[in-house]
Amino acid sequence: MLKVYGCYKSRATRVLWLTEELELAFDHVPVLQANKLQDPKAEGAPINTQSPEFLAVAPFGGIPVIEDDGLVLFESLAITLYLAKQYSNGNLGPQDLEEDGQMMQWALFAATEIEANALKISKITADGRLDSDAGKAEAEVAARLLKRPFAALEKHLLNRLYMVGDRFTVADINTAEIVRYAQAYKPLMEAFPAIAAWLERCQSRPAFQAMWEKRAAE
């Protein structure tokens, strides 16, 4: 059986959302980030990214990781693309080589051009600083750096409901979960209505809602 290592409050959300979409049975090992624990190596500490039993599977020490019939994969975007190809019968995954290339393109684009600055907004929000003057100033800097990649994504989505193939796919999951990090900064989202509408479509899906409820309960 597929095994997924990672917690919901991490990049594992991409993988766990996809498993909901696929209705895919799996064994979940809730590995925490070591930096969330006062002493991750203490006796009795919950399994985390510094635990020997996890490092025996994934020496890199990052989450998420999957094991599937002897295959071990890390890097969330690689995992989602693999699972979509392996288990979706061409529905959530690519139906041909052209779609495969497009899905890879958008995954890499989101990871390299959007994620770092979107994460800055996410952290400001999580720290409760988005309403402070300093927090707003930091978020504005990040948002300004996001305008160029968001403009490209907005243009792509203007006459499309979804990222690739005119249907919801793993490309939407991968991109939406990265764009979500910037979602709390309303001026940015208001400036790109096609992105905002697309993100709402993605997040209204029952599988996303199911994943998000589990994340909130974690």
State pTM to two decimals. 0.95
SS3 82: helix
The predicted structure's pLDDT at residue 43: 87
Same domain, 123 and 31: no
Mean per-residue pLDDT over the chain, rounded = 96
Has residue 105 got a pLDDT over 90? Answer: yes
Tokens for 47?
């399994």
Residue 217 lies inside a defined structural domain of this protein: no
CATH number at residue 8: 3.40.30.10
Residue 48: domain span: 3-87
Q: What is the pLDDT of residues 45-62, one digit of tens each?
A: 999 899 999 999 999 999
Whether 218 contacts 8, CB under 8 Å: yes
Has residue 192 got a pLDDT over 80? Answer: yes
Residues pairing with 28 in the sheet: 4
Whether 142 contacts 117, CB under 8 Å: yes
CATH number at residue 115: 1.20.1050.10
Same domain, 62 and 109: no
Q: What is the pLDDT of residues 87-101, one digit of tens each?
A: 988 799 999 999 999
Q: What is the pLDDT of residues 153-191, one digit of tens each?
A: 999 999 999 999 999 999 999 999 999 999 999 999 999
CA distance 102 to 78: 14
Assign 44 a pLDDT band (cuts: 50, 70, 90).
Answer: confident
